[in-house]
Structure 1
Amino acid sequence: MTSPTPDALLGPADVRELAGALGVRPTKQRGQNFVIDANTVRRIVRTADVRPDDVVVEVGPGLGSLTLALLEVADRVTAVEIDDVLAGALPSTIAARMPERAERFALVHSDAMHVQELPGPAPTALVANLPYNVAVPVLLHMLDTFPTIERTLVMVQAEVADRLAAAPGSKVYGVPSVKANWYAEVKRAGAIGRNVFWPAPNVDSGLVSLTRRTEPLKTTATKREVFAVVDAAFAQRRKTLRAALAGWAGSAAAAEAALVAAGVSPQTRGESLTVEEFARIAENRGAENAAENKESVQP
């Protein structure tokens, strides 16, 4: 592999010059905060454990700061960009700053939430500075749509990072925590200061590492069924599960029957349950009816 030139990555002046030439003004609507520090993007690539044989998908490449750092290491990089101007300019930036790697770059001009396939080989890693306002749904969509993604590292708002990596019993444990854990082992992987962005955001950022489960969760319930329980449990997180799941199960009595059958106390709350326990509850929906039916056929 030919080593890229030392100045291939974007610095603060490069980012502002590119943005100025394109007439780009970062918008809060799309959560745009461009990384202007080359050391930071190289740190992200190292933390993501990007390897020479990796096919990396990046969501929200912006002006290309992280894209160039990924191309230094990975075999291929596919970037998904929704912004018309940024998507139009990115291939030229890659060709100008890293021409020897340009053929290993592909662009998908689309909303990441609508992407169902990617060009070239299947992705093995997801590395991205995700827009804060859509970080969790985009992350879950990509993990669900592309099961070949083994390793993920995303930079998100620090508060979101805490929620994604939270363990049962934590005050910030909730829907993102459980759903991310359906796919992967999740952990915090570092913090990112505000001064490496332009414009500097009003919040801190954090890195989250996700390593896909080597085997899918063992359950007879579908992902949709399990996620329905999770959503119901946290929609009214101050209530006991017996009350919170009443609508999902059809009645409080039916919810209690499902919980008891799953080995979960009806008086507990969703924030204390693992994804495996939520799956067991989903498996036992209708436990009350099953019990009644069994009694009705007894001699």
Structure 2
Amino acid sequence: MSARPKKSFGQHFLHEKRYIERIVSAISPRPEDQVIEIGPGEGALTLPLLAAAGKMTAIELDTDLIPDLTARAAAVGSLQIIHADVLKVDFTALARERGVEKWRVAGNLPYYISSPILFHCVEHAAAIADMHFMLQKEVVDRMAAEPGSKVYGRLSVMLQLVCQVEPLFTVPPGAFRPPPKVDSAVVRMRPLPTEQLPKASPDRLHAVVKAAFAQRRKTLGNALKQVMDTQAILAADVDPKARAEDLAPADFVRLALIETT
């Protein structure tokens, strides 16, 4: 019996087989992998992933879905379900506790909370090998956007500084129950090696990027007034007359590294 999707959890259950197969193929789980799925729902992705990996972990907030998924998974492999809000799950601590070297994270993320989940996962990037997420296509476009694009912004910069972001394919509304009002897309994210990560303080970097994009039409000289002056911008080899959307992610790192008084 199918569960009734709950609006409060932003549930849209994937049901179309060919898209399920494409996602599982993109992830390509192996028996030695440590797969963790965010929001397994009715198990459309969970069960084929479990069949390939043999064992996996899932994080589910909706208690009504857990008994049926547990029962169906028993015949497929070893599934451990954590009843929790994913934003409160410490992936790093969980990996240490379970003796996991790196998680492979997957999920059909609720659209209303997708950005917080992305940033939460990125905070634990050192404990993650890769991520495959289904998201609103508009969000995936922003994640992968290049400088100069109208959708290039804070999300693009902050994610691209720590991950390689690769859009894979689009999924139409009809592949879900109930159909969302927008197209979805699958994206692959691979955390960058430690040596390629920004050397700037995360808090300082966040402050600079947030201020730069807060008012996109302003030049950096005006937009960054509260965090640095024109001389500091010039010292980072950045044009104060440029706008945030003109800068590459590495430019924001240079700005964040400049000492200000």
TM score, norm. by length of structure 1: 0.80
Following the alignment from structure 1 to structure 2, what is the Cα–Cα distance between the partners of residues 155 and 139? 11
SS state of the match for residue 225, structure 1?
A: helix
Equivalent position to 2:146, from 167, 172, 176: 167
Cα deviations across residues 90-136 of structure 1 (Å, max 9, x unaligned)?
A: 212212xxx241x2x21111111111143634243111111101112
Q: How many residue pairs get matched?
A: 256
Gaps of at least 5 residues in structure 2 are: none
One-letter amino acid of the counterpart of residue 127, structure 1 = A
When residues 169 and 75 of structure 1 are mapped into structure 2, their CA distance, relative to the original with a 3 A threshold, is farther
Alpha carbons of structure 1 residues 180 and 70: separation in structure 2 relative to 1, 3 Å: same
- 1:69 shift after superposition: 1.6
Specify the alignment match of 1:196 in structure 2: 175
TM-aligned CA distance change 1:273 to 1:75, over 3 Å? farther
Q: Counterpart amino acid of 1:106?
A: Q
2:125·2:191 contact (CA, 8 Å) conserved in 1? no
Equivalent of residue 225 in structure 1, options 204, 213, 219? 204
Q: Which 5+ residue runs of structure 1 have no aligned equivalent? A: 1-16, 20-24, 290-299
Q: Which has the higher contact order (CA 8 A, sep 6+)?
A: 2
Give the greater-gyration-radius structure (CA): 1
Q: Specify the code of the residue in structure 1 equivalent to 2:154.
A: V
Root mean square deviation of aligned Cα = 1.7
Which residue of 2 is the match for residue 186 of structure 1? 165
- Report the Cα offset of residue 51 of structure 1: 2.9
SS across alignment from 1:248 = coil
Q: Is the 8 A contact 1:56 1:78 kept in 2?
A: yes
Change (3 A) 1:168 1:152: same
What residue number does 1:41 align with?
A: 20
**8 A contact 1:165–1:208 mirrored in 2:** no
1:120 aligns with 2:98: yes
Is the 8 Å Cα contact of residues 217 and 276 (structure 1) preserved in structure 2? no
Distance in structure 2 (CA, Å) of the matches to 1:262 and 1:245: 13
Q: Deviations over 1:32-63 (max 9, x none)?
A: 00011233222101112433321111111111
Q: Name the SS for the 2:132 alignment partner.
A: strand
Q: Aligned AA for 1:18? A: S
| TM-aligned CA distance change 1:238 to 1:88, over 3 Å | farther
Cα pair distance change 1:279/1:273, threshold 3 Å: same
Choose which of 18, 24, 38 in structure 1 pairs with 2:2.
18
Query: How much does 1:262 deviate?
Result: 0.8
**1:190-235 C-alpha deviation (Å, 9 max, x unpaired):** 1111111101111100111112112343544122211111111111
Question: What is residue 255 of structure 2 aligned with on the other side?
Answer: 281
